[in-house]
Amino acid sequence: MKITILGAGAFGKAIDKILTDNHHETSFYDPLVFPEQSLEAAAHNSVAVVIAIPSHILPDFLLDYPARLKKLPTILTSKGLFDLDLFQDFPQFSVLSGPAFAEEILANKATTMTASSAFAMGIFQNQQISIELCHDALGILLCGALKNIYAIGAGYYSESEDNFANFLQNAHLETKQYLADHGAQADTAELSCGLGDLILTCTSQRSRNFLCGRLLREGRSLTEIQQELPTIEGLNALTRADYEPYPLLRSIRDLVQA
Q: Where are the beta strands (DSSP E) in the chain?
A: 2-6, 25-29, 48-51, 74-76, 93-97, 111-115, 129-133
Question: Above 70 in pLDDT, residue 95?
Answer: yes
Give the other-Cβ count within 10 Å of 104's Cβ.
16
Q: For helices 247-257 and 137-157, what crossing angle results, to 10°?
A: 50
pLDDT value at residue 198: 97
* Predicted confidence (pLDDT) per residue in 34-83, tens digit: 999 999 999 999 999 999 999 999 999 999 999 999 999 999 999 999 99
User: Active-site positions?
Assistant: 147
Q: How many residues does the chain have?
A: 258
Domains of the chain (ranges; CATH) run: 2-133 (3.40.50.720), 144-257 (1.10.1040.10)
H/E stretch holding 152 reads: helix 137-157
Dist CA 14 CA 77 (whole Å): 11
pLDDT value at residue 150: 97
pLDDT value at residue 163: 81
Lowest mean pLDDT among 4-13, 157-166, 242-251: 157-166
The structure's pTM equals 0.95
Average pLDDT of the chain is 95
Assign 115 to helix, strand or coil. strand
Q: How confident is the model at residue 258 (pLDDT cuts 50, 70, 90)?
A: confident
pLDDT value at residue 161: 65
Question: Above 70 in pLDDT, residue 6?
Answer: yes
Residue 155: C-alpha distances to residues 89, 144, 218, 240 (Å) = 38, 17, 10, 21
Question: Above 80 in pLDDT, residue 174?
Answer: yes
CB 102 within 8 A of CB 204: no
Q: How many helical (H) and strand (E) elements, i.e. helices and strands, does the chain have?
A: 13, 7
